[in-house]
Structure 1
Protein backbone atom coordinates (compact mmCIF):
# COMPACT_ATOMS: atom_id res chain seq x y z
CA UNK A 1 0.00 0.00 0.00
CA UNK A 2 1.45 3.37 -1.05
CA UNK A 3 1.10 6.39 1.21
CA UNK A 4 2.08 10.03 0.64
CA UNK A 5 1.40 11.58 4.02
CA UNK A 6 2.30 8.80 6.44
CA UNK A 7 5.06 6.24 6.69
CA UNK A 8 4.35 2.65 7.71
CA UNK A 9 7.00 0.09 8.43
CA UNK A 10 7.14 -3.17 10.31
CA UNK A 11 9.83 -4.86 12.37
CA UNK A 12 8.80 -8.38 13.24
CA UNK A 13 5.49 -8.19 15.12
CA UNK A 14 5.74 -4.42 15.64
CA UNK A 15 4.38 -1.82 13.22
CA UNK A 16 5.19 1.89 13.33
CA UNK A 17 3.03 4.53 11.67
CA UNK A 18 4.53 8.01 11.36
CA UNK A 19 2.69 11.15 10.33
CA UNK A 20 4.74 12.73 7.56
CA UNK A 21 3.78 16.28 6.58
CA UNK A 22 6.80 18.05 8.11
CA UNK A 23 6.31 21.30 6.19
CA UNK A 24 2.79 21.56 7.65
CA UNK A 25 3.72 20.50 11.22
CA UNK A 26 2.05 17.16 10.44
CA UNK A 27 -1.31 18.95 10.22
CA UNK A 28 -4.05 16.44 9.55
CA UNK A 29 -5.38 17.05 6.05
CA UNK A 30 -8.28 15.02 4.70
CA UNK A 31 -5.80 13.01 2.63
CA UNK A 32 -3.61 12.25 5.65
CA UNK A 33 -6.62 11.21 7.73
CA UNK A 34 -7.86 8.90 5.00
CA UNK A 35 -4.41 7.33 4.81
CA UNK A 36 -4.31 6.83 8.59
CA UNK A 37 -7.73 5.20 8.42
CA UNK A 38 -6.65 2.94 5.57
CA UNK A 39 -3.51 1.99 7.49
CA UNK A 40 -5.59 1.05 10.53
CA UNK A 41 -7.93 -1.09 8.44
CA UNK A 42 -4.97 -2.85 6.80
CA UNK A 43 -3.23 -3.46 10.12
CA UNK A 44 -6.43 -4.79 11.69
CA UNK A 45 -6.27 -7.73 9.29
CA UNK A 46 -2.65 -8.56 10.14
CA UNK A 47 -2.35 -11.54 12.44
CA UNK A 48 1.44 -11.22 12.34
CA UNK A 49 1.40 -7.73 13.94
CA UNK A 50 0.66 -7.50 17.67
CA UNK A 51 1.58 -3.90 18.58
CA UNK A 52 1.37 -0.60 16.69
CA UNK A 53 3.22 2.63 17.41
CA UNK A 54 1.83 5.96 16.19
CA UNK A 55 4.14 8.97 16.13
CA UNK A 56 5.07 12.23 14.48
CA UNK A 57 8.62 13.57 14.42
CA UNK A 58 11.09 15.25 16.76
CA UNK A 59 9.31 18.60 16.37
CA UNK A 60 5.73 17.58 17.02
CA UNK A 61 3.16 14.84 16.88
CA UNK A 62 0.69 17.01 14.98
CA UNK A 63 -0.68 20.55 14.94
CA UNK A 64 -4.17 19.10 14.57
CA UNK A 65 -6.66 19.28 11.74
CA UNK A 66 -5.56 21.31 8.74
CA UNK A 67 -8.12 24.14 8.80
CA UNK A 68 -7.57 25.04 5.17
CA UNK A 69 -8.00 21.51 3.92
CA UNK A 70 -10.74 20.14 6.17
CA UNK A 71 -13.20 23.01 5.69
CA UNK A 72 -15.22 21.10 3.09
CA UNK A 73 -17.91 20.44 5.69
CA UNK A 74 -18.63 24.19 5.56
CA UNK A 75 -18.65 24.43 1.75
CA UNK A 76 -22.23 25.27 0.84
CA UNK A 77 -21.57 24.49 -2.82
CA UNK A 78 -21.44 20.80 -1.85
CA UNK A 79 -24.47 18.68 -1.12
CA UNK A 80 -25.38 17.97 2.49
CA UNK A 81 -24.40 14.32 2.01
CA UNK A 82 -20.96 15.35 0.68
CA UNK A 83 -20.44 17.78 3.54
CA UNK A 84 -21.41 15.16 6.14
CA UNK A 85 -18.96 12.70 4.58
CA UNK A 86 -16.12 15.20 4.99
CA UNK A 87 -17.26 16.11 8.51
CA UNK A 88 -17.13 12.43 9.45
CA UNK A 89 -13.55 11.75 8.31
CA UNK A 90 -12.10 12.37 11.77
CA UNK A 91 -14.78 10.27 13.49
CA UNK A 92 -14.05 7.32 11.21
CA UNK A 93 -10.30 7.78 11.67
CA UNK A 94 -10.46 7.61 15.47
CA UNK A 95 -12.96 4.75 15.42
CA UNK A 96 -10.65 2.72 13.16
CA UNK A 97 -7.70 3.21 15.50
CA UNK A 98 -9.76 2.50 18.61
CA UNK A 99 -10.96 -0.77 17.09
CA UNK A 100 -7.53 -2.10 16.16
CA UNK A 101 -7.11 -5.53 17.81
CA UNK A 102 -3.42 -4.83 18.43
CA UNK A 103 -2.18 -2.72 21.35
CA UNK A 104 -1.64 0.85 20.13
CA UNK A 105 0.83 3.29 21.69
CA UNK A 106 1.20 6.96 20.77
CA UNK A 107 4.55 8.77 21.12
CA UNK A 108 4.22 12.56 21.48
CA UNK A 109 7.09 14.99 21.04
CA UNK A 110 6.53 18.74 20.92
CA UNK A 111 2.76 18.93 20.93
CA UNK A 112 -0.47 17.17 20.05
CA UNK A 113 -3.18 19.70 19.27
CA UNK A 114 -6.89 19.22 18.58
CA UNK A 115 -7.35 16.24 16.33
CA UNK A 116 -3.90 15.01 17.35
CA UNK A 117 -5.09 14.56 20.91
CA UNK A 118 -8.37 13.11 19.63
CA UNK A 119 -6.61 10.24 17.86
CA UNK A 120 -4.19 9.83 20.78
CA UNK A 121 -7.02 9.18 23.24
CA UNK A 122 -8.51 6.67 20.79
CA UNK A 123 -5.37 4.56 21.23
CA UNK A 124 -4.45 2.41 24.21
CA UNK A 125 -1.49 4.23 25.75
CA UNK A 126 0.22 7.59 25.34
CA UNK A 127 3.88 8.46 25.98
CA UNK A 128 4.83 12.15 26.09
CA UNK A 129 8.12 14.04 26.22
CA UNK A 130 8.37 16.16 29.36
CA UNK A 131 8.67 19.42 27.39
CA UNK A 132 5.65 18.67 25.20
CA UNK A 133 2.08 19.91 25.59
CA UNK A 134 -1.41 19.03 24.44
CA UNK A 135 -4.38 21.31 23.83
CA UNK A 136 -7.90 21.29 22.45
CA UNK A 137 -8.53 24.65 20.71
CA UNK A 138 -11.78 23.72 18.96
CA UNK A 139 -14.19 25.83 21.04
CA UNK A 140 -11.94 28.87 20.61
CA UNK A 141 -12.49 28.31 16.87
CA UNK A 142 -16.26 28.28 17.36
CA UNK A 143 -16.73 24.53 16.90
CA UNK A 144 -17.29 21.70 19.39
CA UNK A 145 -14.77 18.97 20.00
CA UNK A 146 -15.95 16.01 17.91
CA UNK A 147 -14.35 12.87 16.42
CA UNK A 148 -15.78 10.93 19.39
CA UNK A 149 -13.10 12.51 21.59
CA UNK A 150 -15.28 13.76 24.45
CA UNK A 151 -16.46 10.30 25.62
CA UNK A 152 -12.89 8.98 25.41
CA UNK A 153 -11.48 12.01 27.21
CA UNK A 154 -14.13 11.79 29.94
CA UNK A 155 -13.37 8.10 30.46
CA UNK A 156 -9.68 8.91 30.97
CA UNK A 157 -9.75 12.03 33.15
CA UNK A 158 -13.32 12.38 34.44
CA UNK A 159 -16.07 14.87 33.57
CA UNK A 160 -14.72 17.94 35.40
CA UNK A 161 -11.26 17.78 33.83
CA UNK A 162 -12.73 16.87 30.43
CA UNK A 163 -14.88 20.01 30.58
CA UNK A 164 -11.92 22.16 31.56
CA UNK A 165 -9.69 20.82 28.78
CA UNK A 166 -12.45 21.12 26.21
CA UNK A 167 -14.06 24.43 27.18
CA UNK A 168 -11.09 26.52 28.34
CA UNK A 169 -8.75 25.36 25.55
CA UNK A 170 -5.78 25.49 27.92
CA UNK A 171 -2.37 24.05 27.10
CA UNK A 172 -1.54 21.10 29.32
CA UNK A 173 2.06 20.13 30.00
CA UNK A 174 3.35 16.60 30.32
CA UNK A 175 3.54 16.52 34.13
CA UNK A 176 -0.08 17.62 34.52
CA UNK A 177 -1.20 15.27 31.76
CA UNK A 178 0.48 12.38 33.59
CA UNK A 179 -0.99 13.38 36.95
CA UNK A 180 -4.55 13.38 35.61
CA UNK A 181 -4.17 10.11 33.71
CA UNK A 182 -4.29 11.57 30.23
CA UNK A 183 -0.89 10.08 29.38
CA UNK A 184 0.78 6.96 30.75
CA UNK A 185 4.49 7.79 30.68
CA UNK A 186 6.66 10.90 30.47
CA UNK A 187 10.21 10.84 29.09
CA UNK A 188 13.05 13.30 28.51
CA UNK A 189 12.79 15.17 25.18
CA UNK A 190 13.47 12.87 22.25
CA UNK A 191 12.67 9.74 24.24
CA UNK A 192 8.95 9.25 23.65
CA UNK A 193 9.23 6.84 20.73
CA UNK A 194 11.90 4.73 22.44
CA UNK A 195 9.73 4.41 25.56
CA UNK A 196 6.70 3.55 23.43
CA UNK A 197 8.75 0.87 21.68
CA UNK A 198 9.88 -0.51 25.05
CA UNK A 199 6.25 -0.78 26.17
CA UNK A 200 5.46 -2.52 22.90
CA UNK A 201 8.18 -5.07 23.58
CA UNK A 202 6.57 -5.82 26.95
CA UNK A 203 3.31 -6.43 25.10
CA UNK A 204 5.03 -8.67 22.55
CA UNK A 205 6.42 -10.80 25.38
CA UNK A 206 2.87 -11.79 26.33
CA UNK A 207 0.71 -14.45 24.62
CA UNK A 208 -0.78 -12.61 21.66
CA UNK A 209 -4.27 -14.11 21.66
CA UNK A 210 -4.81 -13.41 25.35
CA UNK A 211 -3.65 -9.81 24.87
CA UNK A 212 -6.15 -9.27 22.06
CA UNK A 213 -8.98 -10.85 24.05
CA UNK A 214 -8.22 -8.72 27.09
CA UNK A 215 -8.02 -5.49 25.08
CA UNK A 216 -11.34 -6.27 23.41
CA UNK A 217 -13.02 -6.89 26.77
CA UNK A 218 -11.67 -3.70 28.36
CA UNK A 219 -12.76 -1.69 25.32
CA UNK A 220 -16.22 -3.26 25.36
CA UNK A 221 -16.71 -2.08 28.94
CA UNK A 222 -15.01 1.31 28.58
CA UNK A 223 -16.64 2.34 25.30
CA UNK A 224 -20.14 0.92 25.75
CA UNK A 225 -21.81 4.34 25.70
CA UNK A 226 -19.42 6.14 23.37
CA UNK A 227 -21.42 5.69 20.19
CA UNK A 228 -24.54 7.17 21.76
CA UNK A 229 -22.54 10.13 23.09
CA UNK A 230 -20.52 10.88 19.96
CA UNK A 231 -22.23 9.68 16.80
CA UNK A 232 -23.83 13.07 16.06
CA UNK A 233 -20.56 14.96 16.40
CA UNK A 234 -20.29 15.57 12.67
CA UNK A 235 -23.72 17.25 12.64
CA UNK A 236 -22.80 19.32 15.70
CA UNK A 237 -19.67 20.42 13.85
CA UNK A 238 -21.70 21.55 10.83
CA UNK A 239 -24.37 23.28 12.91
CA UNK A 240 -21.99 25.19 15.19
CA UNK A 241 -19.56 25.90 12.38
CA UNK A 242 -22.22 27.69 10.35
CA UNK A 243 -22.62 30.44 12.97
CA UNK A 244 -21.27 33.95 12.38
CA UNK A 245 -19.04 33.79 15.47
CA UNK A 246 -17.58 30.45 14.42
CA UNK A 247 -16.76 31.68 10.90
CA UNK A 248 -15.10 34.77 12.37
CA UNK A 249 -13.04 32.71 14.83
CA UNK A 250 -11.80 30.34 12.11
CA UNK A 251 -10.95 33.22 9.77
CA UNK A 252 -8.94 34.90 12.53
CA UNK A 253 -7.10 31.65 13.27
CA UNK A 254 -6.18 31.14 9.63
CA UNK A 255 -4.94 34.73 9.42
CA UNK A 256 -2.72 34.20 12.46
CA UNK A 257 -1.25 31.04 10.97
Structure 2
Protein backbone atom coordinates (compact mmCIF):
# COMPACT_ATOMS: atom_id res chain seq x y z
CA UNK A 1 0.00 0.00 0.00
CA UNK A 2 1.28 3.50 -0.82
CA UNK A 3 0.96 6.43 1.56
CA UNK A 4 1.01 10.17 0.86
CA UNK A 5 2.75 11.47 4.00
CA UNK A 6 4.18 8.29 5.52
CA UNK A 7 7.09 6.00 4.68
CA UNK A 8 7.45 2.52 6.19
CA UNK A 9 10.78 0.71 6.29
CA UNK A 10 10.89 -2.91 7.45
CA UNK A 11 13.96 -4.64 8.84
CA UNK A 12 14.23 -7.93 10.77
CA UNK A 13 10.93 -7.71 12.62
CA UNK A 14 11.12 -3.92 13.03
CA UNK A 15 9.00 -1.39 11.16
CA UNK A 16 10.14 2.23 11.06
CA UNK A 17 7.21 4.55 10.33
CA UNK A 18 8.24 8.08 9.34
CA UNK A 19 5.53 10.70 8.95
CA UNK A 20 6.51 13.76 6.94
CA UNK A 21 3.79 16.07 5.70
CA UNK A 22 6.55 18.29 4.28
CA UNK A 23 4.82 21.47 5.42
CA UNK A 24 3.64 23.31 8.52
CA UNK A 25 6.05 21.48 10.83
CA UNK A 26 4.22 18.17 10.37
CA UNK A 27 0.98 19.62 11.74
CA UNK A 28 -1.92 17.17 11.87
CA UNK A 29 -4.69 17.97 9.42
CA UNK A 30 -7.60 15.52 8.94
CA UNK A 31 -5.87 13.89 5.96
CA UNK A 32 -2.74 13.08 7.99
CA UNK A 33 -4.83 11.92 10.95
CA UNK A 34 -6.77 9.50 8.77
CA UNK A 35 -3.61 8.24 7.08
CA UNK A 36 -1.78 7.64 10.37
CA UNK A 37 -4.84 5.82 11.72
CA UNK A 38 -4.85 3.55 8.66
CA UNK A 39 -1.12 2.93 9.06
CA UNK A 40 -1.64 1.77 12.65
CA UNK A 41 -4.53 -0.49 11.67
CA UNK A 42 -2.38 -2.07 8.94
CA UNK A 43 -0.17 -3.53 11.68
CA UNK A 44 -2.92 -4.92 13.91
CA UNK A 45 -2.90 -8.38 12.31
CA UNK A 46 0.81 -8.34 11.40
CA UNK A 47 2.56 -11.34 12.96
CA UNK A 48 5.96 -10.62 11.40
CA UNK A 49 6.48 -7.15 12.87
CA UNK A 50 7.45 -7.29 16.54
CA UNK A 51 8.18 -3.62 17.24
CA UNK A 52 7.38 -0.32 15.54
CA UNK A 53 9.34 2.92 15.61
CA UNK A 54 7.34 6.08 14.91
CA UNK A 55 9.21 9.23 13.94
CA UNK A 56 8.70 12.60 12.32
CA UNK A 57 11.21 14.02 9.90
CA UNK A 58 14.78 14.93 10.84
CA UNK A 59 13.87 18.43 12.07
CA UNK A 60 10.61 18.02 13.99
CA UNK A 61 8.03 15.52 15.15
CA UNK A 62 4.84 17.61 14.95
CA UNK A 63 3.62 21.11 15.71
CA UNK A 64 0.19 19.77 16.67
CA UNK A 65 -3.19 20.23 15.05
CA UNK A 66 -3.25 22.36 11.91
CA UNK A 67 -5.72 25.01 12.99
CA UNK A 68 -5.36 26.79 9.65
CA UNK A 69 -6.71 23.81 7.72
CA UNK A 70 -10.28 24.67 6.71
CA UNK A 71 -11.47 21.10 7.19
CA UNK A 72 -10.60 21.32 10.89
CA UNK A 73 -13.32 23.91 11.56
CA UNK A 74 -15.48 24.27 8.44
CA UNK A 75 -18.92 22.85 9.19
CA UNK A 76 -21.03 24.22 6.35
CA UNK A 77 -23.12 21.49 4.75
CA UNK A 78 -22.24 18.94 7.44
CA UNK A 79 -24.69 17.18 9.73
CA UNK A 80 -24.15 17.18 13.48
CA UNK A 81 -23.14 13.51 13.32
CA UNK A 82 -20.54 14.25 10.64
CA UNK A 83 -19.12 17.14 12.67
CA UNK A 84 -18.95 15.00 15.79
CA UNK A 85 -17.22 12.21 13.90
CA UNK A 86 -14.54 14.62 12.71
CA UNK A 87 -13.86 15.84 16.24
CA UNK A 88 -13.22 12.25 17.31
CA UNK A 89 -10.64 11.56 14.57
CA UNK A 90 -7.65 12.33 16.80
CA UNK A 91 -8.84 10.16 19.65
CA UNK A 92 -9.37 7.26 17.27
CA UNK A 93 -5.86 7.78 15.90
CA UNK A 94 -4.30 7.55 19.36
CA UNK A 95 -6.45 4.55 20.29
CA UNK A 96 -5.33 2.75 17.13
CA UNK A 97 -1.67 3.22 18.09
CA UNK A 98 -2.21 2.38 21.75
CA UNK A 99 -4.02 -0.85 20.82
CA UNK A 100 -1.24 -2.15 18.59
CA UNK A 101 0.01 -5.56 19.78
CA UNK A 102 3.60 -4.64 18.91
CA UNK A 103 5.88 -2.57 21.13
CA UNK A 104 5.83 1.02 19.88
CA UNK A 105 8.71 3.48 20.33
CA UNK A 106 8.42 7.14 19.34
CA UNK A 107 11.43 9.21 18.25
CA UNK A 108 10.98 12.97 18.55
CA UNK A 109 13.20 15.75 17.24
CA UNK A 110 12.67 19.51 17.32
CA UNK A 111 9.23 19.83 18.85
CA UNK A 112 6.17 17.84 19.90
CA UNK A 113 3.26 20.23 20.42
CA UNK A 114 -0.33 19.55 21.47
CA UNK A 115 -1.55 16.71 19.29
CA UNK A 116 2.10 16.04 18.53
CA UNK A 117 2.49 15.01 22.17
CA UNK A 118 -0.89 13.27 22.44
CA UNK A 119 0.10 10.61 19.90
CA UNK A 120 3.43 9.71 21.59
CA UNK A 121 1.59 9.41 24.92
CA UNK A 122 -0.43 6.56 23.36
CA UNK A 123 2.73 4.60 22.54
CA UNK A 124 4.88 2.43 24.79
CA UNK A 125 8.22 4.25 24.95
CA UNK A 126 9.36 7.73 23.97
CA UNK A 127 12.80 8.99 22.92
CA UNK A 128 13.46 12.72 22.72
CA UNK A 129 16.25 14.64 21.03
CA UNK A 130 18.18 16.80 23.46
CA UNK A 131 16.98 20.10 21.96
CA UNK A 132 13.41 18.89 21.40
CA UNK A 133 10.67 20.39 23.56
CA UNK A 134 7.09 19.59 24.54
CA UNK A 135 4.37 22.23 24.53
CA UNK A 136 0.64 21.89 25.23
CA UNK A 137 -0.99 25.20 24.15
CA UNK A 138 -4.63 24.13 23.90
CA UNK A 139 -5.87 26.33 26.76
CA UNK A 140 -4.30 29.40 25.11
CA UNK A 141 -6.63 28.92 22.15
CA UNK A 142 -9.65 28.17 24.32
CA UNK A 143 -9.66 24.38 23.99
CA UNK A 144 -9.34 21.42 26.33
CA UNK A 145 -6.63 18.81 25.85
CA UNK A 146 -8.25 16.24 23.58
CA UNK A 147 -7.31 13.00 21.78
CA UNK A 148 -7.73 11.06 25.08
CA UNK A 149 -4.38 12.53 26.16
CA UNK A 150 -5.34 13.89 29.58
CA UNK A 151 -5.59 10.55 31.45
CA UNK A 152 -2.45 9.23 29.74
CA UNK A 153 -0.54 12.35 30.75
CA UNK A 154 -1.88 12.23 34.31
CA UNK A 155 -0.92 8.57 34.63
CA UNK A 156 2.68 9.35 33.66
CA UNK A 157 3.36 12.53 35.65
CA UNK A 158 0.66 12.68 38.35
CA UNK A 159 -2.26 15.14 38.73
CA UNK A 160 -0.37 18.23 39.92
CA UNK A 161 2.18 18.11 37.13
CA UNK A 162 -0.50 17.30 34.56
CA UNK A 163 -2.41 20.43 35.59
CA UNK A 164 0.76 22.51 35.32
CA UNK A 165 1.58 21.20 31.86
CA UNK A 166 -1.95 21.73 30.54
CA UNK A 167 -3.00 24.93 32.34
CA UNK A 168 0.23 26.96 32.36
CA UNK A 169 1.23 25.99 28.80
CA UNK A 170 4.92 25.94 29.69
CA UNK A 171 7.47 24.61 27.24
CA UNK A 172 9.19 21.52 28.62
CA UNK A 173 12.77 20.76 27.64
CA UNK A 174 14.11 17.23 27.31
CA UNK A 175 15.85 17.07 30.71
CA UNK A 176 12.64 17.99 32.53
CA UNK A 177 10.60 15.58 30.39
CA UNK A 178 12.98 12.77 31.37
CA UNK A 179 12.89 13.75 35.04
CA UNK A 180 9.08 13.85 35.05
CA UNK A 181 8.76 10.49 33.32
CA UNK A 182 7.31 11.71 30.03
CA UNK A 183 10.18 10.19 28.04
CA UNK A 184 12.29 7.11 28.57
CA UNK A 185 15.48 8.22 26.82
CA UNK A 186 17.11 11.47 25.73
CA UNK A 187 19.40 11.19 22.72
CA UNK A 188 21.79 13.61 21.05
CA UNK A 189 20.08 15.78 18.46
CA UNK A 190 19.53 13.84 15.26
CA UNK A 191 19.96 10.51 17.04
CA UNK A 192 16.49 10.00 18.54
CA UNK A 193 15.45 7.59 15.78
CA UNK A 194 18.66 5.57 16.21
CA UNK A 195 18.02 5.20 19.94
CA UNK A 196 14.38 4.31 19.31
CA UNK A 197 15.42 1.63 16.81
CA UNK A 198 17.86 0.24 19.37
CA UNK A 199 15.06 -0.11 21.94
CA UNK A 200 12.77 -1.64 19.32
CA UNK A 201 15.42 -4.18 18.32
CA UNK A 202 15.91 -5.22 21.93
CA UNK A 203 12.15 -5.70 22.33
CA UNK A 204 11.97 -7.66 19.06
CA UNK A 205 14.55 -10.13 20.36
CA UNK A 206 12.25 -11.19 23.21
CA UNK A 207 9.70 -14.02 22.84
CA UNK A 208 6.89 -12.49 20.81
CA UNK A 209 3.90 -14.04 22.54
CA UNK A 210 5.19 -13.17 26.01
CA UNK A 211 5.87 -9.57 24.96
CA UNK A 212 2.34 -9.16 23.60
CA UNK A 213 0.78 -10.69 26.71
CA UNK A 214 2.76 -8.43 29.03
CA UNK A 215 1.96 -5.32 26.99
CA UNK A 216 -1.75 -6.15 27.09
CA UNK A 217 -1.64 -6.82 30.83
CA UNK A 218 0.21 -3.59 31.65
CA UNK A 219 -2.00 -1.48 29.37
CA UNK A 220 -5.20 -2.96 30.76
CA UNK A 221 -4.01 -2.25 34.29
CA UNK A 222 -2.71 1.27 33.63
CA UNK A 223 -5.52 2.38 31.33
CA UNK A 224 -8.50 0.85 33.11
CA UNK A 225 -10.18 4.22 33.79
CA UNK A 226 -8.92 6.17 30.77
CA UNK A 227 -12.17 5.93 28.81
CA UNK A 228 -14.19 7.04 31.81
CA UNK A 229 -12.02 10.16 32.07
CA UNK A 230 -11.85 11.09 28.39
CA UNK A 231 -14.75 9.52 26.49
CA UNK A 232 -16.34 12.95 25.94
CA UNK A 233 -13.22 15.06 25.39
CA UNK A 234 -14.01 15.54 21.69
CA UNK A 235 -17.53 16.68 22.57
CA UNK A 236 -16.02 19.13 25.06
CA UNK A 237 -13.63 20.40 22.39
CA UNK A 238 -16.54 20.85 19.97
CA UNK A 239 -18.35 22.92 22.61
CA UNK A 240 -15.30 24.90 23.75
CA UNK A 241 -14.19 25.61 20.19
CA UNK A 242 -17.41 27.50 19.52
CA UNK A 243 -17.13 29.77 22.53
CA UNK A 244 -16.09 33.41 22.09
CA UNK A 245 -12.62 33.10 23.71
CA UNK A 246 -11.71 30.20 21.44
CA UNK A 247 -13.00 31.94 18.32
CA UNK A 248 -11.00 35.08 19.13
CA UNK A 249 -7.90 33.07 20.00
CA UNK A 250 -7.99 31.20 16.68
CA UNK A 251 -8.30 34.49 14.77
CA UNK A 252 -5.17 35.74 16.52
CA UNK A 253 -3.41 32.44 15.86
CA UNK A 254 -4.28 32.52 12.16
CA UNK A 255 -2.97 36.09 11.79
CA UNK A 256 0.26 35.06 13.52
Q: Same fold (TM over 0.5)?
A: yes
**How many equivalent pairs are there?**
256
Which residue pairs with 1:31 in the alignment? 31
Aligned counterpart, 1:124: 124
Within-5 A mapping of 1:220-231: 220-231=220-231
Show the 5 A alignment for 1:11-22: 11-22=11-22
Q: How many angstroms apart in 1 are the aligned matches of 2:212 and 2:146?
A: 27
- Structure 1 residue runs without a partner (length 5+): none
**Distance in 2 (alpha carbons) for counterparts of 1:159 and 1:172:** 17
Residue 54 of structure 2 is matched in structure 1 by: 54
1:238 aligns with 2:241: no
Q: For the residues of structure 1 that align with 2:21 and 2:70, how far apart are their CA atoms? A: 15
Corresponding position of 1:99: 99
Indicate the SS of the match to 1:22. Answer: coil
Q: Which residue of 1 aligns with 2:182?
A: 182
Relative to structure 1, is the Cα distance of residues 193 and 141 closer, same or farther in structure 2, using a 3 angstrom cutoff?
A: same
Question: Which residue of the partner structure matches residue 88 of structure 1?
Answer: 88
Question: Could you list the per-position Cα deviations for residues 112-166 of structure 1 after superposition, in whole angstroms to 9, with x for gaps in the alignment?
Answer: 0010100000000000011110111111011100100000000000000111101
CA distance in 2, matches of 1:176, 1:214: 28
Q: Aligned equivalents of 2:111 and 2:230: distance in 1? A: 25
Q: Provide the rounded CA distance (Å) in 2 between the counterparts of 1:70 and 1:41.
A: 26
Distance 1:237 1:69 in 2: 17
TM-aligned CA deviation for residue 70 of structure 1: 6.5
Tell me by how many angstroms 1:19 deviates: 1.1
Whether contact under 8 Å (1:51, 1:102) holds in the other structure is yes
**For residues 174-218 of structure 1, what are the alpha-carbon distances to aligned partners after superposition, in whole Å with 9 as ceiling and x for unaligned?**
000000000000011111000000001110111011000000000
Partners of 1:46 and 1:102 in 2: how far apart?
9
1:76 deviates by: 5.0
